[in-house]
Amino acid sequence: EVQLVESGGGLVQPGGSLRLSCAASGFTFSPYTMSWVRQAPGKGLEWISYITSASDSISYADSVKGRFTVSRDNAKNSLFLQMDSLRDDDTAVYFCARERRGYYLDYWGQGTPVTVSS
Amino acid sequence: EIVLTQSPATLSLSPGQRATLSCRASQSVDNQLAWYQQKPGQAPRLIIYDASNRATGIPPRFSGSGSGTDFTLTISSLEPEDVAVYYCQQCSKKLYTFGQGTTLEIK
């Protein structure tokens, strides 16, 4: 069974940092492009980043570019999101998801909540 | 950036009725459009990809159609468990975008 489990969320002050992790199991992690998607309270889905299997192509939404860094460790079946210079509007549930065929996301984790507040 | 516009924002129907949800793209995405279902408190779940292919485990009452800029998700006979927000999504030039969602309510 494919499983994605996020962790690392929590409460952080504006300007602070957090590192999210996504542990993958039930499939061979290394060949897949992975994405991060977030959802602010009561709002819709917002894609924020993807990383290809060999980390040779990475993309970010404009809203997080220069502040967030995505990475992965294929040996540990793990995906990461380093979030720096956090702002109030980064408050959201953060989901990791597996990408297929360059555009759709076929498996999602349950999400980890991040609250940015003083 | 391709913008996806969903309509209606909210749809309220009775069990057994047919639901028709629309997604319009600001430019052609060919057939590379996906639909997701998000129930309250849960992660999104893929229900349709390539505009019309049902994902694994999705019941046949869900169907998708369309190509280019106009797409439709149809639920042929609503069940109470279909209460959810439905999102369309595409990816072009390494930028993914989602529609704003349609909330489906069951009367």
Is B54 in the A-facing interface, judged by CB distances under 8 Å? no
Query: How far is the CA of A3 from the CAs of A10, A34, A39, A73, in angstroms?
Result: 21, 13, 20, 16
Cα separation, B73 vs B93, whole angstroms: 24
**If pLDDT is split at 50, 70 and 90, which confidence band does B94 have?**
confident
Q: Does A44 contact B44 at a Cβ distance shorter than 8 Å? A: no
B4, B23 in Cβ contact below 8 A? yes
Distance of residue A60 Cα from the nearest chain B Cα, in angstroms? 8
B31 interface with A at CB cutoff 8 Å: no
How many C-beta atoms lie closer than 10 Å to residue A40's C-beta? 13
pLDDT at A102 over 90: no
In whole angstroms, what is the distance from residue B37 CA to residue B104 CA? 10
- Check residue A13 and give its pLDDT: 97
What is the tens place of the pLDDT at every residue in A58-87? 999 999 999 999 999 999 999 999 999 999
Contact yes or no for B96 and A95 at CB 8 A: no
- Distant-in-sequence, close-in-space partners of A88: CB < 8 Å, separation ≥ 6: A14, A116, A117
User: For B12-50, how does the pLDDT look when each residue is reduced to its tens digit (9 = 90+)?
Assistant: 999 999 999 999 999 999 999 999 999 999 999 999 999
Chain A residues in contact with B36 (beta carbon < 8 A): 45, 105
For the cut 90, the answer to whether the pLDDT of residue A108 exceeds it is yes
